[in-house]
Amino acid sequence: MACLHLPESGVFDGGKLCRYTYVSPLPDPPMSFSSPQSDTQAAAQPADADRIRVMLVDDQFIIAEALRRMLAGEADIDYCYQPDPRQAVASALSWRPTVILQDLVMPQVDGFALLGQFRTHPELRQVPVIVLSSKEDPQLKAQGFGMGARDYLVKWPDRIELLARVRAHSTAYLNQRERDAAFRALAESQQQLARANADLQRMAKLKDEFVATVSHELRTPLTSIRGSLSLLSEGMAGELPEAARKLVGIAGNSCERLVRMINDLLDIERIESGKMEFDLRMQPLDAIVEQAVASMQGYSAQYRVEIKTVPVPAGLRVRADRDRLMQVLINLLSNAIKFSPAGAEVRLITQVNGQRVRMSVIDRGEGMPDEFRDRIFEKFSQADSGDSRRRGGTGLGLNICKRIVEEHGGRIDFESVYGEGSSFHVELPIAHE
């Protein structure tokens, strides 16, 4: 590498003693001037630093020195000089300027050809290029702008104007580079989010398929087991000893519980996949309430809890799927019974409020803790008390009730005081002929 180091001169520029280094025109690196830092510090400056980095491509050293004098004393500007235009692209890739100043007339490379190289290189095409020319020629200006130059200055511009243009173009480039980086980060985040969403959908589909398959496969043998236990308890195989009857009763209750759990899982799967069908018809509400209460008499007797109702107003009708609305009432009644103490009563009250009817299931059980209220209608939600866990359940019933009620154009809410009981309210629009 052929470098000539000239001795330090006694010339001061802007209060700074400058050292000049001439770099040979072949494959040597560009010469850097930094203000107010030293050459070594400028070379160590990271390429992505938020600083103005000016690179000059010109074959005349006197031009480089004149430009250095103009930029001297500017604390936010680093300056790099490449005398060989054949090495300009490589130097720009290495030094990462925020603005390039280049001559048009150079012996080794045509200035417009070099401009074309900057504009077509994928890593340099956005770097602003200011053409320096000794000619005030509109045709040259037009050609330069047509090839992608950002600016055109006639040698030599006023120092204040040069600094203003260098800062303006560099700032615009730095802002654009920051925006591009942000857009790339956003695009990458969106791609990661899309991949994660696709994975979640795939896992949800697998989960739904698993739940549906397992539930269907379990329900068939459970139905057979339940039927066999029922026949045994009814004496179809002969009179059972007392101990055997108790065991059959325990097995039967456990089987019923498993059937309810499987039915809840299947209902959730059908609701979330949009496969749950609703046969909405005009229905007399009193018949639905009576049937729901009648179906819970055996369950309430098991817990020694009495169900009391207030007669439904005569002729009151709703547009509902009879089985699904009964499912809601039975679920609310079973919860109220399950969490009520022996000897208590559960009330089912029906009231008309304008064009809506409200069915309230009220108990005087243990109520629910404050921390459980916000998630009571979420899937798999259960109060965390040990007593709640012992009473069983999937934590799906209230979520299913909420979805069924909403499909009927109604709403469900509740009131509860811990230690005093709970009230669940189902409101539906009254149907008219």
Residue 185 tokens, joined = 């980060």
| Residue 142 placed within a domain | yes
Whole-number pLDDT of residue 266: 78
Helices (H) and strands (E) counted in the chain, each on its own, are 12, 17
Provide, rounded to the nearest whole percent, the portion of the chain with pLDDT above 70: 85
**Cβ proximity of 93 and 123 under 8 Å:** yes
Whole-number pLDDT of residue 373: 79
- Taking alpha carbons only, the member of 306, 325, 299 closest to residue 412 is 325
- Taking alpha carbons only, the member of 91, 89, 85, 79 closest to residue 32 is 79
Alpha helices in 234-321, H assignment, sequence order: 242-272, 285-295, 297-303
Same domain, 343 and 229: no
> Does residue 37 surpass a pLDDT of 70?
no
Same domain, 7 and 96: yes
Same domain, 339 and 248: no
Beta strands at 16-17 and 12-13: parallel, antiparallel or unpaired: antiparallel
Last residue of a domain, one of 219, 247, 272: 272
DSSP state of 389: H
Question: DSSP characters for 314-332?
Answer: TT-EEEE-HHHHHHHHHHH
Domain range for residue 97? 3-157
> Does residue 283 surpass a pLDDT of 70?
yes
Same domain, 113 and 217: no
Whole-number pLDDT of residue 20: 35
| Residue 425 placed within a domain | yes
Residue 265 tokens, joined = 């899982």
Whole-number pLDDT of residue 173: 94
Same domain, 136 and 18: yes
Taking residue 14's Cβ as centre, other Cβ atoms within 10 Å add up to: 13
Same domain, 314 and 228: no
Same domain, 291 and 211: no
pLDDT-derived band at 291 (thresholds 50, 70, 90) equals very high
- Residue recorded with tokens 């004098």: 69
Give the up-direction half-sphere exposure of residue 281: CA atoms within 13 A in the CB hemisphere: 9
Same domain, 118 and 255: no
Phi-psi region of 4 (alpha: psi -120 to 50; beta: other; left: phi over 0): beta
List Cβ neighbours of 171 (8 Å cut-off, separation of 6 or more). 52
> Does residue 93 surpass a pLDDT of 90?
yes
Taking residue 114's Cβ as centre, other Cβ atoms within 10 Å add up to: 22
Q: What is the pLDDT of residues 343-360, one digit of tens each?
A: 999 999 999 988 999 999
| Residue 169 placed within a domain | no
- Residue recorded with tokens 């048009």: 104
**Cβ proximity of 73 and 29 under 8 Å:** no
Last residue of a domain, one of 218, 250, 272: 272
Last residue of a domain, one of 253, 272, 291: 272
Whole-number pLDDT of residue 209: 77
* Degrees, nearest 5: CA angle 406-407-411: 20
Helix (H, G, I), strand (E, B) or coil at 21: strand
| Residue 329 placed within a domain | yes
Same domain, 112 and 192: no
> Does residue 35 surpass a pLDDT of 50?
no
- Residue recorded with tokens 């130059």: 149
> Does residue 34 surpass a pLDDT of 90?
no
**Cβ proximity of 163 and 93 under 8 Å:** no
- Residue recorded with tokens 């603005």: 99
Lowest-pLDDT range of 109-123, 297-311, 381-395: 381-395
More confident residue, 196 or 4: 196
pLDDT-derived band at 82 (thresholds 50, 70, 90) equals very high
CATH number of the domain where residue 387 is located: 3.30.565.10
Q: What is the pLDDT of residues 399-429, one digit of tens each?
A: 899 999 999 999 999 999 888 899 999 999 9
More confident residue, 394 or 73: 73
Q: What is the pLDDT of residues 214-255, one digit of tens each?
A: 767 777 788 888 788 888 888 887 888 888 888 888 888 788
pLDDT-derived band at 16 (thresholds 50, 70, 90) equals very low
To 10 degrees, what angle do helices 397-407 and 242-272 make?
50
Average of per-residue pLDDT across 255-281: 80
Give exposure, 301-324, as e/b (b: 16+ Cβ within 10 Å): eebebebebeebeeebbbebbbeb
Q: Which helix (H) or strand (E) holds 31?
A: strand 31-35
Q: How many domains does the chain have?
A: 3
Question: DSSP characters for 37-74?
Answer: S-HHHHHTS-TT-SSEEEEEE-S-HHHHHHHHHHHTT-
CATH number of the domain where residue 132 is located: 3.40.50.2300
> Does residue 372 surpass a pLDDT of 90?
no
Q: What is the pLDDT of residues 117-149, one digit of tens each?
A: 999 999 999 999 999 998 889 999 999 999 999
> Does residue 41 surpass a pLDDT of 80?
no
pLDDT-derived band at 392 (thresholds 50, 70, 90) equals low
Same domain, 355 and 425: yes
- Taking alpha carbons only, the member of 386, 397, 382 closest to residue 257 is 397
pLDDT-derived band at 6 (thresholds 50, 70, 90) equals very low
**Cβ proximity of 98 and 107 under 8 Å:** no
The model's pTM is 0.51
- Taking alpha carbons only, the member of 69, 64, 55, 53 closest to residue 22 is 64
CATH number of the domain where residue 216 is located: 1.10.287.130
Q: How far is CA 129 from the centre of its chain?
A: 41
d(CA 66, CA 14): 13
Q: What is the pLDDT of residues 166-206, one digit of tens each?
A: 999 999 999 998 999 899 999 999 999 999 999 988 987 88
Same domain, 129 and 78: yes
- Taking alpha carbons only, the member of 312, 337, 318 closest to residue 405 is 318
Whole-number pLDDT of residue 414: 92
Partners of 56 in the beta sheet? 81, 101
Same domain, 112 and 223: no
